[in-house]
Structure 1
Amino acid sequence: MNIKSNFVKVTAAAALTMTGVATVNAVKPNATTAKVQAATTKVKINYVLGYGVNIWTKSNHGHFTGQRAAHGTTWTVIGQATDKKGRSWYQVGQHQWILAQYTVQANSPKAKRVVKKTSNVNNVVKKNNKAKAKKSVQATGDASAVVTLASAQLGKAYAWGASGEDSFDCSGLTSYVYSKAAGVKLGRTTYAQVKQGTTVSMSNLQPGDLLFWGSASAPYHVGIYVGNNQYIHAATPGQGVIKQTLSSYFYPSVAKRVLN
């Protein structure tokens, strides 16, 4: 009788463990994870309204999983690590890591101020309206070549770490286009590219300017402004290289002019 009882307990425990694994694999945070993990730390994503941070396969030299942890969502931390650059990472699932710098402790006063809904973006909307009201500037010289070549990449695939000619990630696309069209050598990553050129106002954009999203010093995404309030970028694995209109729900944090 005792053997049968113990067998039932072990079976139930195994079933709970398998349920936890399935939850960890899901991209949406789920409280069930806490039941099967010893960790109790919870963090809230504090990034960009209407967007989220990339989820990587590991903390050191990992690959982008194609999934993102949405701004304002809460995640259970099941592991921590520091990469070779000294950056802190949180493990939030099986083969799922996020940069700690884009989070706040879920029970902290700062977490209460993290805006999750995109309706509270009045300041961003005002900036966007100013940009729309400004007369469109026509591309000339090298800028025209950049816009033309960027447009020729529309529809191509997104692949992490790729820089052409059949697929790109965001910084791979910009480095490819500026090198081929204007002879400008950009750094390979968004972190390197944002340090190049001259910072320009979002209300004074010109075709050929680089647009960055995220931290002004360590952005996670980059695109090419092509005029008429539009930009081209290698968006996601599901979207590939696309052209979009600047929106208050996904507004750049900084713009750089690398063409003379």
Structure 2
Amino acid sequence: MTSNWLDLALAQLGNKYYSPGAFVAFIFNSTHVHSHVKSGKWSADLVDLTYDVYELNTIENTNPGDLLFWGIPEQPYTTGIYVGGGQFIAVDANDKRVKMQMLNKNWLPTFTGTVF
């Protein structure tokens, strides 16, 4: 795994995206990280993103670069990219800007998706 995706994600801090899925798709498509689907391209749709990952996991098995999801696989309502050390990069629901955020016990993702 290269840090290319992380460098690009960090460069997006403060930028606006219309959705969390659009941000994730931009990062992985721009850095040529292939999705699991036949086309190899990442979708901005959150449900599609659950199919784009190689494997769904629990939060305990999360690695840097994996996607964090809140909701259920059939109906996730947000996502972010896990950076490590309890931090993730995601689009803030209030102002639609990309921010570095911390996981906390009051708002943990319900499942993750292995990307690498």
TM-score band by shorter chain is: 0.7 to 0.9
Letter in 2 for 1:221: T
Query: Residue 176 in 1 paired to residue 21 in 2?
Result: no
Count of residues paired in the alignment:
109
1:227-246: CA deviations, max 9, x gaps?
11110001124261101111
Alignment check: 8 A CA contact 2:22 2:43 kept: no
d(CA) in 2 for partners of 1:156, 1:217: 28
1:1-260 counterparts in 2 under 5 A?
Answer: 141-142=1-2, 144-158=3-17, 160=18, 169-184=19-34, 185-196=41-52, 197-238=54-95, 240-259=97-116
Alignment check: 8 A CA contact 2:23 2:44 kept: no
Q: Which has the larger radius of gyration?
A: 1
Alignment check: 8 A CA contact 2:58 2:110 kept: no
Equivalent in the alignment of 1:114: none
| Deviation of the 1:170 alpha carbon | 0.3
> Hey, which of these two has a bigger chunk of helix by percent?
1
Give 5+ residue unaligned stretches, structure 1. 1-140, 161-168
d(CA) in 1 for partners of 2:46, 2:88: 16
| Deviation of the 1:208 alpha carbon | 0.6
d(CA) in 2 for partners of 1:147, 1:217: 27
d(CA) in 1 for partners of 2:22, 2:56: 21
Q: 1:216 to 1:188 in 2, by over 3 A?
A: same
Bigger relative CO (Cα 8 Å, ≥ 6 apart): 2
Give the % identical residues.
29
d(CA) in 1 for partners of 2:104, 2:74: 22
Give 5+ residue unaligned stretches, structure 2. 35-40
Q: 1:172 to 1:219 in 2, by over 3 A?
A: same
Alignment check: 8 A CA contact 2:91 2:99 kept: yes
d(CA) in 2 for partners of 1:183, 1:216: 21
Alignment check: 8 A CA contact 1:234 1:242 kept: yes
d(CA) in 2 for partners of 1:176, 1:195: 16
Normalising by structure 2, we get a TM-score of 0.84
Moved over 6 A (4+): none
